[in-house]
Chains A and B, each alone.
Chain A
Amino acid sequence: MTIDLKTVKHISKLSRISIEDEKAKKLTGDLNSIFEFIEKLNKLNTDKVEPLTSIAETTLKLRRDEVKSENIRDQILKNSPNENKDFFVVPKVVE
Chain B
Amino acid sequence: MIDIISQSLTQLINNIKDKKVSSEEVTKSFIQRAEKSKKLNCYIAEDFENAINKAKKFDNKPNYDSKLPGIPIAVKDLFCTKNVKTTAGSKILSNFVPTYESTVTQNMWNEGAILLGKLNCDEFAMGSSNETSFFGNVQSPIDKNLVPGGSSGGSASAVAGQLTPITIGTDTGGSIRQPASFTGIVGLKPTYGSCSRYGIVAFASSLDQAGPMAQNVKDCALLQEVISTYDPKDSTSIDFKRSHYSKKLTNNIKGKKIGIPKEYRVDGMPKEIEDLWQKGINHVKECGAETIDISLPHTSYALPAYYIVAPAEASSNLARYDGVKYGFRVKGENLIDMYEKTRSEGFGAEVQRRIMIGTYVLSSGYYDAYYLKAQKVRKLIKNDFDEAYKKVDAILTPSTPSSAFKIGEKTNDPVSMYLNDIFTVPVNLAGLPGISIPAGHDSRGYPLGLQIIGKAFDEQNILNIAFAMEEKINFKNKITDWWIK
Q: Which residues of A contact B (CB under 8 A)?
A: 3, 7-8, 11-12, 14-19, 27, 30-31, 33-34, 37-42, 44, 46, 49-53, 55-56, 58, 60-61, 63, 70, 72, 75-76, 78-82, 88, 90-93
Asked if B277 CB lies within 8 Å of chain A CBs, one says: no
- Interfacial chain B residues near A76, Cβ < 8 Å: 99, 325
> Taking each of A38, A72, A78, A82, which has the highest tally of chain B beta carbons within 10 Å of its own beta carbon?
A38
User: In whole angstroms, how far apart are the Cα atoms of A2 and B430 in the complex?
Assistant: 30
- Interfacial chain B residues near A38, Cβ < 8 Å: 304, 307-308, 370
**Given A16-B340, A31-B356, A79-B97, do A51 and B414 touch, yes or no (CB 8 Å)?**
no
**Given A30-B414, A90-B335, A90-B338, do A46 and B327 touch, yes or no (CB 8 Å)?**
no
Q: Is the CB of A11 within 8 A of B359?
A: yes
Q: Is the CB of B377 within 8 A of A16?
A: no
Nearest chain B CB to A60 CB, angstrom units: 6
Nearest chain A CB to B258 CB, angstrom units: 24
8 A Cβ contacts from B258-299 to A: 298
**Given A37-B415, A88-B325, do A15 and B99 touch, yes or no (CB 8 Å)?**
no
User: In whole angstroms, how far apart are the Cα atoms of A18 and B344 in the complex?
Assistant: 6
Among A14, A41, A81, A90, point to the contact of B328 (Cβ < 8 A): A81
User: In whole angstroms, how far apart are the Cα atoms of A52 and B282 in the complex?
Assistant: 36
User: In whole angstroms, how far apart are the Cα atoms of A73 and B405 in the complex?
Assistant: 46
Q: Is the CB of B343 within 8 A of A82?
A: no
Residue on A nearest B333 in the bound complex, by CB: A91
Interface stretch of the complex, out of B44-52, B143-151, B232-240, B394-402: B232-240
Among B363, B414, B431, point to the contact of A14 (Cβ < 8 A): B363
Among A58, A75, A78, A80, point to the contact of B238 (Cβ < 8 A): A58
Among B322, B363, B380, point to the contact of A49 (Cβ < 8 A): B380
> Taking each of B301, B334, B344, B370, which has the highest tally of chain A beta carbons within 10 Å of its own beta carbon?
B344
Interface stretch of the complex, out of B13-21, B103-111, B125-133, B347-355: B347-355
Say whether chain B's binding surface is mostly helix, strand, loop, or mixed.
Answer: helix
Q: Is the CB of B356 within 8 A of A17?
A: yes
Among B235, B329, B363, B370, point to the contact of A11 (Cβ < 8 A): B363
Q: Is the CB of A91 within 8 A of B332?
A: yes
Q: Is the CB of A51 within 8 A of B372?
A: yes
10 pairs from A and B in contact (CB 8 Å cutoff)? A16-B322, A16-B343, A18-B337, A41-B305, A44-B377, A58-B193, A79-B95, A79-B327, A80-B326, A81-B323
Nearest chain A CB to B267 CB, angstrom units: 14
**Given A37-B304, A82-B329, A91-B338, do A52 and B382 touch, yes or no (CB 8 Å)?**
yes
User: In whole angstroms, how far apart are the Cα atoms of A11 and B357 in the complex?
Assistant: 8
Asked if B360 CB lies within 8 Å of chain A CBs, one says: yes
Q: Is the CB of A56 within 8 A of B415?
A: no
Q: Is the CB of A40 within 8 A of B301?
A: yes
Among B193, B332, B343, B353, point to the contact of A27 (Cβ < 8 A): B353
Among B236, B325, B341, B379, point to the contact of A51 (Cβ < 8 A): B379
Asked if B8 CB lies within 8 Å of chain A CBs, one says: no
Asked if B336 CB lies within 8 Å of chain A CBs, one says: yes
Asked if B378 CB lies within 8 Å of chain A CBs, one says: yes
Interface string of B305-329 (1 = CB under 8 A from A): 1011000000100010011111111
- Interfacial chain A residues near B418, Cβ < 8 Å: 34, 37
Q: Is the CB of B414 within 8 A of A88?
A: no
Residue on B nearest A58 in the bound complex, by CB: B238
- Interfacial chain A residues near B341, Cβ < 8 Å: 18
- Interfacial chain A residues near B374, Cβ < 8 Å: 41
Among B232, B325, B379, B413, point to the contact of A79 (Cβ < 8 A): B325
- Interfacial chain B residues near A93, Cβ < 8 Å: 334-335
Asked if B6 CB lies within 8 Å of chain A CBs, one says: no
Across chains A and B, which 4 residue pairs bring their CB atoms closest together, nearest first? A51-B375, A79-B326, A81-B329, A55-B431
Nearest chain A CB to B105 CB, angstrom units: 18
Known: A27-B353, A56-B238. 10 other contacts (CB 8 A): A3-B360, A38-B308, A46-B373, A53-B375, A58-B193, A70-B99, A79-B96, A79-B325, A81-B95, A90-B338
Asked if B192 CB lies within 8 Å of chain A CBs, one says: yes
User: In whole angstroms, how far apart are the Cα atoms of A80 and B327 in the complex?
Assistant: 7
Q: Is the CB of B301 within 8 A of A41?
A: yes
Nearest chain A CB to B11 CB, angstrom units: 36
